[in-house]
Amino acid sequence: MNKMENQKNDSINRASSVDTTPKVTGIGGIFFFSDNPKETKDWYSTNLGIETNEYGSSFESRNIIKPDEINTLQWSPFKKGDGYFSPSKKDFMINYRVQNIEGLVKKLSDNGVTILDSIETYDYGKFVHIMDTEGNKIELWEPTY
């Protein structure tokens, strides 16, 4: 085999070994209630140096397995009582980054997990919300890279 054939075979092998298992691949966001989100963001900015905007702050990191992929974690305080956390009664919500969101929703549904809404697609990815057994609302996000 010549060098070009080896490179072609390597590319095919890598493409065929892409993991599409429906699962969580990381944390995509940490959301929590605050009495005053603006003051909270200002405090974190002043005291901890976190650069904030109207949504909170985004932290970027490289995927260790796919170094060309940049992952984002969104940190956001929400006004206490914000309906986005409903029906959970908790003061926080975690966003999990996932792969194969459609397959994961099917698996969760088959396992009797409460699916709160349908998968919604935006420019930056697909989202769906579920409830865990402790009454925590969980946001699942499959990013668009």
Instruction: Name the residue ranges covered by the structural domains of the chain.
Output: 25-143
63 pLDDT tier (thresholds 50, 70, 90): confident
Give pLDDT, residue 2. 56
Q: Does pTM surpass 0.75? A: yes
Q: Which fold has domain 25-143?
A: 2,3-Dihydroxybiphenyl 1,2-Dioxygenase; domain 1 (3.10.180)
7 pLDDT above the threshold of 60:
no
Report CA-CA distances (Å) from 64 to 12, 25, 29, 75, 97. 22, 12, 18, 21, 15
Rounded percentage of the chain residues whose pLDDT exceeds 70: 88
1 pLDDT tier (thresholds 50, 70, 90): low
Give pLDDT, residue 4. 52
Tokens matching residue 55: 């949504």
Interval 61-90 mean pLDDT? 93
Residues 6+ apart with CB under 8 A from 29: 73, 74, 75, 76, 94, 95, 139, 141
